[in-house]
Chains A and B, each alone.
Chain A
Amino acid sequence: MSQANHSIPLGDKLWRWLVISLPYWWLAIFFLAPFAIVFKISFADPVVAQPPFSNFFDFSPGAESWLLATLDNYRFITEDNLYWISYFKSLKIATISTVLCLLLGYPMAYGIAKCQPGTRNILLMLVILPFWTSFLLRVYAWIVMLGKTGAINSLLLKMGLITTPIEMLYTDGAVYLGIVYTYIPFMVLPLYSVLEKMDTNLQDAAADLGARRWQVFFNIILPLSMPGVIAGSMLVFIPALGEFVIPSLLGGIDSLMIGRTLYDEFFINRDWPLASAVATVLLFIIVVPIMLLQSSQKERS
């Protein structure tokens, strides 16, 4: 094929255009544009109509102003305690769950990285496998475990350790348990990938010079694995913050996480503009952890 004229053939240009534009435009239309609409509707008024929000522009001759926007939804969020409590409780539950995930996930990742390569692959597969199976049904498994007539209570009753069932389901404790259980693979995998690649010469040198195991850990291993700690923590923290399924299945009536409040606002109260305002605020809250995650990934690569 002659390329004497040095211009790119039309077919090649078309192919290049297709590879880039098709996924780009799909995401622009179905992922990026929707946020703009959420933002817009968060300034609308709820009305009893189909769809249940007011128009943004009014070009009819008698209109007072062509732009109909209101800050009422945001004012309502800041004035009603429900939203403050929900945002605060989500932050608290997500933070504590992330710490718990780290405390369990770090030794697990460390242990897996220390195993023989054959065992390592099997253990990694065992960590990943639950992530591939149903999340909803794994949360349900905890209802079977924790319920008043559930597995743990019946076992304890049978052993005679308790006489009345313990309240475990529909508590905040159950929510923590559910989040740690669901998101632990997201903590273990990035930690494993930094720990596995870590050069052991530094550790050996420190040990030869008389450092104790815990000194080696806190002075060498932990600082070197920080990118993995940050990536894992953010991968747990961000989805936990907006979690809906776990608090509504395992939590009590007072487990007001923001994801659940938004869902109820939308489906039960049918207040779409207010739900949009709640979503917009949540989006601004997660921007910071997302940027942390991005920078930690850049550091890793």
Chain B
Amino acid sequence: MSSHRGPSTFILSVLCFGFAFLYVPILVMMAYSFNDSALATVWGGFSTRWYSALLNNEQIINAALLSLKIAAVSATFATILGTLAGLALTRMRRFRGRFLFTGLIAAPLVMPEVITGLSLLLLFVSLQQLIGWPVSRGATTITIAHITFAMAYIAVIVQARLASMDESLEEAAMDLGGRPMQVTFDITLPLIAPSMISGWLLAFTLSLDDLVIASFTSGAGASTLPMVIFSKIKLGVTPDINALATIIIGTLSLGILIASWIILRSQRKTSAQRQSG
């Protein structure tokens, strides 16, 4: 919408309010993480003591390592499965059950987490009764749960990219005798790589952040970082969580910004090459 009239004063003030609403609470929390006083009401001077307290908190460190491991593994599998799903929906001609398949891809995106979590737990319990697997619930069952809901997000991202992409390169490769699998690996996948990377990142952050589904599918032994955080903040403000939140949100935002900059640059490069060649 490139109208000659710019946004009105009303629209501009709503925009300012909206962005302030989105960012002020995070910035305030970040500021408090450097507050020497444990009370939010008093400013006790600049300090990094909550950060060093965090490094000595074994429970949080262990939970963070577990969460990072689950996030990395589930994001990788979700990217593989999600990309296959995207390919199936855009590059495979009609197949039986396509309608159900489309629904199965869309549903996890809007399904309330309590339902997904409860149903997966009951599946794991029933499977254990039937075939003896999984023996216990923990990292593996959480990973399976995270793969399931993250692959739907990746399928949507990859599908959108594939649908908007020119198929002539793939068709040319097929005409020259390339086998479908070869064409996928040599032509299609390199072209959709940026979408796969952003999909992987999204799956990683979704897994790292998930509380509800992990709570349902975890067993006695395994506590992920969100589960530890939730049990602490249920009781109110704790200064070391401010520090932890600052680290997590800061790192993720920086990572996302760098990644999107790289993806944008590579896309510009390919479109420039296409225009010049």
A interface vs B, CB < 8 Å? 1, 9, 11-12, 15-16, 18-20, 22-24, 26-35, 37-38, 41, 51, 104-105, 107-108, 110-115, 123, 125-127, 129-130, 132-138, 140-145, 147, 149-151, 153-154, 157, 181, 184, 195-198, 200, 203-204, 213, 234-235, 238-239, 241-245, 248-249, 259, 262-263, 266-267, 272, 275-276, 279, 282-283, 286, 290, 293-294
- Closest Cβ of chain A to B224, distance in Å, is 11
- Closest Cβ of chain A to B194, distance in Å, is 15
Q: Pick out which of these stretches binds chain A: B14-22, B57-65, B267-275.
A: B14-22
Contacts A108-B14, A145-B25, A151-B40: A30 and B126 contacting too (C-beta < 8 A)? Answer: no
State whether the Cβ of B3 lies closer than 8 Å to any Cβ in chain A: yes
State whether the Cβ of B245 lies closer than 8 Å to any Cβ in chain A: yes
| Chain B residues with CB below 8 A from A149, complex form | 39-41, 237
Q: Is the CB of A137 within 8 A of B248?
A: yes
B interface vs A, CB < 8 Å? 1-3, 5-8, 10-12, 14-15, 17-19, 21-26, 28-29, 32, 39-41, 81-82, 84-85, 87-88, 91-92, 95, 97, 101, 104-108, 110-116, 118-120, 122-123, 125-126, 129, 144-145, 147-148, 151-152, 155, 177, 179-181, 184, 201-202, 205, 208-209, 211-212, 215-216, 226, 229-230, 233-234, 236-237, 241-242, 244-245, 248-249, 252-253, 256-257, 260
Contacts A19-B92, A126-B22: A133 and B253 contacting too (C-beta < 8 A)? Answer: yes
| Chain A residues with CB below 8 A from B21, complex form | 104, 181, 184
- Closest Cβ of chain B to A184, distance in Å, is 7
**Centre residue among A20, A243, A282 by max chain B CB count within 10 A:** A20
| Chain A residues with CB below 8 A from B114, complex form | 242, 244, 259, 262-263, 279, 282
Q: In the complex the two chains form, what is the Cα distance from A293 to B110 in whole Å?
A: 10
- Closest Cβ of chain B to A265, distance in Å, is 10
Contacts A22-B81, A181-B22: A137 and B2 contacting too (C-beta < 8 A)? Answer: no
Q: In the complex the two chains form, what is the Cα distance from A123 to B215 in whole Å?
A: 35
